[in-house]
Structure 1
């Protein structure tokens, strides 16, 4: 798994938002609420950073300490939307979590693209990233969330269906 520091090297403007001390997310409560553990790279990101907006396009959702239930509720809402798409036959066979092999949302774009983990292995660190483009394109990548972000912004991963301006030449990160 890629470490947060490697993502910071790719997106140096994000470091201004790094917490001075580890953010105390109650992972036990959150994961009990969700019914699953979460990947270690993502946990490290959430302990170091608040929710982030990259290049005024990509919103990376992380739980806020004390608001873990709200974050889990947001994931359930995203699963309901995916369930509706599944029932309409618009998911290329992907199913929402908590179905076996289901998708769990961790990021979205301001144009309707959604970034998921595919919960297909018992080890969360092995979950691939799945992207549903706003135009209905589906793509799967055998990397975790942090590595996915670093590779996208290094331009070593191309995500079909994304706007031509993604990723930007000099991405800025806001919190």
Structure 2
């Protein structure tokens, strides 16, 4: 049984998902991607595991949750600043960290992209929201998700109640049917931005935003009018 088979047996995917142009996606990113990630993205599409862990996807509804959007570079720049200034310890070279997901609480999930030309050997790392703690997993993304969702792997940064409602995947309900790879996907007309996207954008741009509750008006205005910041 393959890694993706174990994951789908544990967490059934939606009946349909988007078909991704991986050649164009990898060309836009300038790197090859792990096979298991491409299988997960094609099988599940954009969405969240247990309503908590959101993987970035090439066809996500906003640029802030798109694999080809600006988040990975923005987060890498922040980590480099933290490492250089000593604000927070960063146990890995930020140049080798590529952000691939975010939780509802603001923890980021990364690939450790070493060796750069061997994506099947990339492992997983994560950091807490605006804090010093990190975790690592010595395996690929599909194995990591299976270990976490089965309860075999405990991530100290994740809530104890993660599996309290069972194991499930919630697809994004308003994902675009197509997008120009390399260009950030935009929400469909009339779609309200997800608060998770706004919080992720705010943290990446240096705003102090609470994990829960009302998002300050100033941050909402900055999100809606980024060119005025």
TM-score range, shorter chain: 0.7 to 0.9
Instruction: Name the residue aligned to 2:92.
Output: 94
CA contact (8 A) 1:82 1:95 kept: no
CA contact (8 A) 1:52 1:60 kept: yes
State the secondary structure of the residue aligned to 2:39.
Answer: helix
Of 19, 22, 26, the match for 2:21: 26
TM-score for the superposition, normalised by structure 2: 0.63
Cα distance in structure 2, aligned partners of 1:52 and 1:46: 9
CA contact (8 A) 1:42 1:146 kept: yes
Compute the displacement of 1:158 (Å).
Answer: 1.4
Q: Which stretches in structure 1 are left out of the alignment for 5+ residues? A: none
TM-score for the superposition, normalised by structure 1: 0.81
Compute the displacement of 1:52 (Å).
Answer: 2.0
Of 134, 137, 152, the match for 1:138: 134
Number of positions where the alignment pairs a residue of Structure 1 with one of Structure 2: 163
Of 47, 52, 56, the match for 1:61: 56
CA shift in 2, pair 1:41/1:18, >3 Å: farther
Match status 1:129 vs 2:127: no
Instruction: Name the residue aligned to 2:38.
Output: 43
Cα distance in structure 2, aligned partners of 1:2 and 1:106: 21
Compute the displacement of 1:2 (Å).
Answer: 4.4
Cα distance in structure 1, aligned partners of 2:40 and 2:24: 18
Deviations 1:116-165 (A, max 9, x none): 10001221011000011224311111111111000001111111222222
Deviations 1:88-131 (A, max 9, x none): 222524233xx3xx111111101101111000122101100001
CA contact (8 A) 2:72 2:100 kept: no
Aligned-residue CA RMSD (Å): 2.5
Instruction: Name the residue aligned to 2:158.
Output: 162
Match status 1:7 vs 2:7: yes
CA contact (8 A) 2:123 2:139 kept: yes
State the secondary structure of the residue aligned to 1:139.
Answer: strand
Q: Which has the larger Rg?
A: 2
Cα distance in structure 2, aligned partners of 1:107 and 1:92: 18
Cα distance in structure 1, aligned partners of 2:67 and 2:102: 15
